[in-house]
A = this chain, B = another copy of it.
Amino acid sequence: MLLMLDLAGETPLYLQIRNQIVRAIASGELSPGERLPSIRSLAEQSGVNMMTVSKAYTQLKQEGYIEADRRYGTVVAGQRAHRLTEKSVESLYVIAGEARIAGMSEEEFLSLCREAFGEGGERK
Contact = CB atoms under 8 A, between A and B. Distances in A.
Q: What is the total number of copies of this protein in its complex?
A: 4
State the main secondary structure of chain A at its contact with B: helix
A1 interface: no
B82 A102 contact: yes
A3 B89 CA distance: 18
Size bracket, chain A contacts: 35 or more
A96 B88 CA distance: 9
Residue of A13, A70, A118 with most partner-chain B CB within 10 A? A70
A124 interface: no
Contact of A116 (B48, B85, B96, B118): B96
Interface in A76-123: 79-85, 87-104, 106, 109-110, 112-114, 116-119, 123
